[in-house]
């Protein structure tokens, strides 16, 4: 499988993100590469943490943001467990 490197002129954030992902997944060993799915799951979990942090001071807003955080965590689990999986349509109640 070929490895693609993304280059965006004048923006090193993507390089830092790739390095952070590689180190996160390989637990400090630089010989292991992070997959797109692993990086996506990590970003989704970090977004969930941000939602919960932002909602903590305000109970009303916190409830909504906690729901968003839960959805992000569920999607992170799906991406990790079955990266190429297909969502099944939800059954509608009558």
Per-domain residue ranges for the chain? 35-84
In whole angstroms, give the CA distance from residue 1 to residue 66: 38
Quote the tokens at residue 31. 């010989």
Its sign, for the CA torsion 13, 15, 16, 21, is positive
Q: What is the pLDDT of residues 19-32, one digit of tens each?
A: 555 545 445 555 46
Contacts of range 56-63, beta carbons closer than 8 Å, 24 or more positions apart: none
Quote the tokens at residue 94. 């009558």
Burial class from Cβ neighbours inside 10 Å (0-12, 13-18, 19+) for residue 23 reads middle
pTM over 0.85: no
DSSP state of 73: H
Instruction: Say whether pLDDT at 93 is over 90.
Output: no
């Amino acid at each position: 499988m070929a490895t693609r490197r993304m280059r965006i002129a004048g923006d090193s954030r993507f390089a830092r993100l790739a390095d952070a992902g590689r180190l996160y997944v390989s637990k400090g060993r630089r010989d292991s590469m992070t997959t797109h799915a692993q990086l996506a799951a990590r970003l989704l979990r970090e977004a969930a943490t941000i939602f919960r942090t932002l909602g903590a001071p305000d109970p009303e807003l916190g409830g909504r943001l906690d729901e968003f955080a839960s959805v992000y965590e569920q999607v992170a689990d799906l991406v990790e467990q079955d990266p190429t999986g297909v969502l099944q349509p939800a059954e509608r109640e009558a």
